[in-house]
Amino acid sequence: MIGRAAILAAVIVVALTVETTLLAPVRLLGARPDLLLLAVVAVAMASGAGSAAAFGFAAGLAADLLLDLPVGVSALVYTAIGYAVGSARTYLASGRVLVPAGLAVGASLVAVWASGALLRLLDLSGFSWGFVARAGLAAALVNLVLTPAVYPLVRRLAERFVTGRVAHW
C-alpha cells in the first residue's frame, strides 16, 4: 500500500516537473499540456473509481498549490473525472487503442471547461468564455498527442500495485 502511494506520488511530482520545464514552451491557443489529467484517467482505468478519485484529489491539490491556481479547483475537477472514468471503466474495452484516446479528449474538454467555468463563476479569472471554449478544444488536441507516451506508462505502474481483482479505495 505504501509502495503504491509512493509510486503514485512520484507520478505526480514527475508529471508536474515535466509540465513546467520540458513542456514549458508548449501552448496551443492558450492551452497547456495536462499530464496529470492523463495520469488520472490511466489510474481510473487501472484501479477503479475510488483510487482514481483519491489520486485525482492529490494530483489536483498539488497542481493548484504549485501552479498558483485558486487552490481546490483542479482538485475538485480531477476528483470528479477520476471517479467518473473509474465508474465507467467496466463498459469500456480497455484493449482498444481508441479508448484511451477518446478518454483523453473527453477528460480534457471536461477539465478545461469545468475549471474555466468555475473560475469565471467565482470571479477568479479574467479569461473570456470564448477563451475557455477554445482552450478546451486545444487542450484535447495537445493531450491526445501526449496520450501514447503517458497513458500506458502510468496505467502499467498503477496496475502493478493493484491488490486484489478489483481495486476499491
Partner 1 sequence: MYEHTRRTRVVFVVLMLAAATVMTLDFRQRPDGPVERLQRVTLAVFGPVQRGVSTVLRPLGDAASAVTGGTARRDNERLRAEVERLRAAERGYQDLLTENERLRASIAMARRCGCRTVGAQVVARAGSTFQRSVTVDAGRAQGVGPDMAVLDGDGLVGRVLDASGGYASIRLLTDPTSGVAVTLAGSKAPGLLRGRGGRDLQLQMLHPNVGVAVGEPVVTRAYAGGVFPAGIPVGVVTAVGPAADGLVRTATVRPFADSDRLDVVAVVVASPRRPARRPSATPRATPRAAP
Contact between residue 38 and residue 148 where contact means Cβ atoms under 8 Å apart: no
Spatial CA neighbour of 90 closest among 54, 149, 47: 47
Which among 2-10, 12-20, 96-104, 148-156 is the span making contact with partner 1, rule CB under 8 A? 12-20
Burial 71-90 (b: 16+ CB within 10 A, else e): eebbbbbbbbbbbbbbeebe
Axis crossing angle, helix 35-47 with helix 2-20, rounded to the nearest 10: 160
Q: Which of 4, 7, 9, 66 binds partner 1 (CB under 8 A)?
A: 66
Interface with partner 1, residue 61, by CB under 8 A:
yes
Please select the residue that binds partner 1; options are 42, 83, 85, 157, rule is CB under 8 A.
Answer: 83
Q: What is the smallest separation between the CB atom of 79 and partner 1, expressed in angstroms?
A: 5
Binding to partner 1 by CB under 8 A, coded x per residue (else -) over 91-130, reads: ---------------------x--xx--x--x-xxxx---
Using the rule CB under 8 A, is 147 a contact of partner 1?
no
Number of residues lying near partner 1 (CB under 8 A):
60
> By C-alpha distance, which of 73, 85, 84, 151 is closest to 112?
73
HSE at residue 151, side-chain half, CA atoms within 13 A, is: 23
Nine cell digits for residue 115: 475549471
In the window 20-59, what residues touch partner 1 (CB under 8 A)?
Answer: 20-25, 30-34, 48-50, 53-54, 56-57
Query: Contact 104/140 with Cβ under 8 angstroms?
Result: yes
Instruction: Scan for cell 484511451, then name that residue.
Output: 100
Among 71, 145, 148, 156, binds partner 1 (CB under 8 A): 71
Interface residues with partner 1 (CB under 8 A)? 13, 16-25, 30-34, 48-50, 53-54, 56-57, 60-63, 65-73, 75-76, 79-80, 83, 86-87, 89-90, 112, 115-116, 119, 122, 124-127, 131, 135, 139, 166, 168-169
